[in-house]
Amino acid sequence: MKPHPLAPKSQPHPLAPSPKIGEGGQTPPPCPSPNSGRGFRGEVRKRTPRWASLLAIVCVCLIAAYPTLAQIAVTADDVNRVAKQLYCPVCPNETLDACQTQACVQWREEIHTQLTEGQTAQQVIDSFARRYGERVLATPQDPALRALSVYTPFILAGIALVIAVLTFTRWQRANTSEPHPPTPSPKGETDTRNDSYRSILERDLRE
């Protein structure tokens, strides 16, 4: 259906249809238009309550006191390392680390939160796969799907190789059982046993 040319401009979702429901049945939030409220600079400033500031100070002290806990400090690079292994559940074929939409910014924040809570990269990936389905992974986790996806090309390559070897064998058998008459090459080809590189080259060039 053609868009109404005189209608006011709407700002629909930039890339994709409505998101599909993942295995866990949860619908991912729609990828909002990047320009909605200039999502690029989408940091919403809120006044922090005083009690929250105190709590944060206590948390920082606790982290400083326990070196093992302090290791959970998560950088943007840590987040990107995980996000690189996940595909945006809504945008087509874009990894989460590269996707510029506001929804993906939120998903990266979620990865940050989960890593900060102490989850491993694999646990974060698993949680995304549970919620949004296999499509968020670069390779499916389901054993049947994984086998179907990853091994099929090698099986196909193997079949192609077997066909090639059978072809060679058939050719060689045909060649030995029915020795070809010494048909000269259409363009005066010489015997391949000729040991001079120059003559081989000249023959190649002549052909």
Identify residues 84-143 at the interface with other proteins (CB under 8 A): 85, 87, 91-95, 97-98, 100, 105, 133-140, 142
Q: Which is nearer to other proteins, 50 or 187 (CB)?
A: 187
Cα dist from 205 to 77, 137, 182, 185, 190, whole Å: 56, 52, 21, 14, 12
The burial of 15, by beta-carbon neighbours within 10 Å (0-12 exposed, 13-18 middle, 19 or more buried), is given as middle
Choosing from 34, 107, 112, 125, the residue that interacts with other proteins (CB under 8 A) is 34
Contact 131, 90 (CB under 8 A): no
Using CB under 8 A as the binding rule, whether residue 201 contacts other proteins is answered as yes
Q: Which is nearer to other proteins, 47 or 204 (CB)?
A: 204
Name residues contacting other proteins, limited to 156-185 (CB under 8 A). 156-157, 160-161, 163-164, 167-168, 171-172, 174-175, 178, 180, 183
Query: Please, how many CA atoms are within 13 Å of residue 9, restricted to the half-sphere of its CB?
Result: 1
Q: Which is nearer to other proteins, 66 or 168 (CB)?
A: 168
Q: Which is nearer to other proteins, 68 or 93 (CB)?
A: 93
CA-CA-CA-CA torsion sign (199, 205, 206, 207):
positive
